Amino acid sequence: MRRGLFLIVLTVWLTGTVAVWLNASNNFGRSKRVLEQAEQTGLAAKLRALPAEDARQAMHHLASEINRSIFRVWDPSQVGLAVVALWLGWPLSSRWRKVALAVALVIALVLTCWITPTVLALGPPLDFAPRDPSPPEFRAFMFYHGLYLVLDGVKMALLAALMVALARERRA
Domain that holds residue 153: 2-171
Residue 172, burial from CB neighbour count under 10 angstroms (0-12, 13-18, 19+): exposed
Q: How many domains does the chain have?
A: 1
Query: pLDDT truncated to tens, each residue of the chain (172 aa)?
Result: 888 899 999 999 999 999 999 999 999 899 889 888 888 888 888 888 888 888 888 898 999 999 999 999 999 999 999 999 999 998 877 899 999 999 999 999 999 999 999 999 999 999 888 878 889 899 999 999 999 999 999 999 999 999 999 888 777 6
What is the rounded distance in angstroms from the CA atom of residue 31 to the CA atom of residue 64?
10
Determine the pLDDT at residue 54: 87
Measured on CA atoms in the order 117, 142, 66, 152, is the torsion positive or negative?
A: negative
pTM of the model: 0.89
What is the 8-class DSSP label of residue 135?
Answer: P
Q: What's the alpha-carbon Rg for the chain, to the nearest Å?
A: 20
Size of the chain in residues: 172
